[in-house]
Amino acid sequence: MLKQPKMSLIRDIDRSRLCDRQSVVTIGSFDGVHLGHQAILQQVIDKAKSSDSLAVAMTFEPQPQEYFSAETAPPRLMRLREKIEALLDFGMDLVVCLRFNHELRSHTATEFVQDILVDGVNTKHLIVGDDFRFGCDRKGDFDSLVGMGQELGFSVQNTKTVEIKSQRVSSTLVRQLLHKSDFNQVSTLLGRPFSINGKVTFGQQLGRKLGFPTANVNLNRFRAPLAGVYAVRVNVEGIDGRIKGAANVGVRPTIGDRLKPILEVHLLNFDQQIYGRRISVEFVHKIRDERQFTNLDHLADSIRGDVKLIEQWFAQNSH
């Protein structure tokens, strides 16, 4: 059963300090909160516990790449809410989500350190990668952070690199594996199965008219990290156990009504009303790519075949 997460989130920082306690801080996109991220987060948590400090993860919304070029930025592995929930569930005391806008991007490296790290979150110790860069002047790097920390009273530590089978764990690698539908390896890198979470919204009821009612989740992003038809397992808020399903992720080219992707899930042998509930959709096997059909009858025939293939796959992979 899906649980309601605690939310310990700060969306913006003014020039006043958040609290009197000092913080151990890390900064990043944390897209996917994969094993590489988790290694950094664990360093933060351990250091915070040993120094009676807050464990703080700082991120940006939108991501800088999205701010400068939204349509060509990499597809997100997680929406913002999913990321915040994952960071807090891992054990962070606080997630600070800074609005990446003209004001923030105009900060010099020195201003960022003083206004955000020192005055904002009372940083005692900072953990970042040695390739970390920041500031509108691009003068902020690991070495300059060490120097500013010595001047302003905080220490700086390099992050550990996590490798699996001689490959550095990264969000880029996870996206590549999702593109190949290698869900087993994706699960290894994430430390959990890949899933998309969201609230079921009202749609056009087209699936119901075609004989396959769907739970629709608007993804609110330019691109999803995967596309096509999949066998899935679904957790529904308020219902125990996982439900087998057939899911489509894409822009529905046959209908031609969407520019942004949508997740549609047909739950097998299930007829309860779940509008407004949150669901978590775990992807386990790809059936086919999304494609356009000449009419709705052909679309219905394809859905019927997809559901049959997915039922057969589950029958053969019931573990």
Predicted confidence at residue 292, as pLDDT, reads 76
Regarding whether 113 and 67 lie in a shared domain, the answer is yes
> Is residue 181 a part of any domain in this protein?
no
202 and 152 belong to one structural domain: no
Average pLDDT in the 59-80 region?
A: 88
246 and 304 share a domain? yes
pLDDT (tens digit, 9 = 90+) per residue, 118-150?
A: 988 999 999 997 677 777 766 778 888 999 999
DSSP labels, 110-179: HHIIIIIIITTT-EEEEEE-TT--BSTTS-B-HHHHHHHHHHHT-EEEEPPP-EETTEE--HHHHHHHHH
The pLDDT value given to residue 27? 94
In this structure, is residue 187 part of a structural domain?
no
Residue 27, domain member (yes or no): yes
**Position 54 pLDDT exceeds 60:** yes
With beta carbons less than 8 A apart as the criterion, state whether 90 and 59 touch: no
Q: Which domain holds residue 98?
A: 9-162
Q: End of a domain among 118, 141, 162?
A: 162
Look up the CATH number of the domain holding residue 148. Answer: 3.40.50.620
Burial class of residue 106 in the structure, from the number of CB atoms within 10 Å of its CB (0-12 exposed, 13-18 middle, 19+ buried): exposed
Structurally, how many domains does the chain consist of? 2
CATH of the domain at 308: 2.40.30.30
Tokens, residue 101: 């806008």
pLDDT, tens digit, for every residue of 265-285? 999 999 888 989 999 999 999
Cα separation of 3 and 224, whole Å?
24
Encode pLDDT of 212-247 as tens digits: 788 899 887 778 899 999 999 999 999 999 999 999
Q: How confident is the model at residue 6 (pLDDT cuts 50, 70, 90)?
A: very low
Whether 244 is covered by a domain: the verdict is yes
In this structure, the answer to whether residues 308 and 201 fall within a common structural domain is: yes
Average of per-residue pLDDT values in the chain: 86
Decide: helix, strand or coil at residue 198. strand
- The answer, yes or no, to whether residue 114 has pLDDT greater than 50, is yes
Same domain as 158, residue 17: yes
Q: Are residues 77 and 203 in the same domain?
A: no
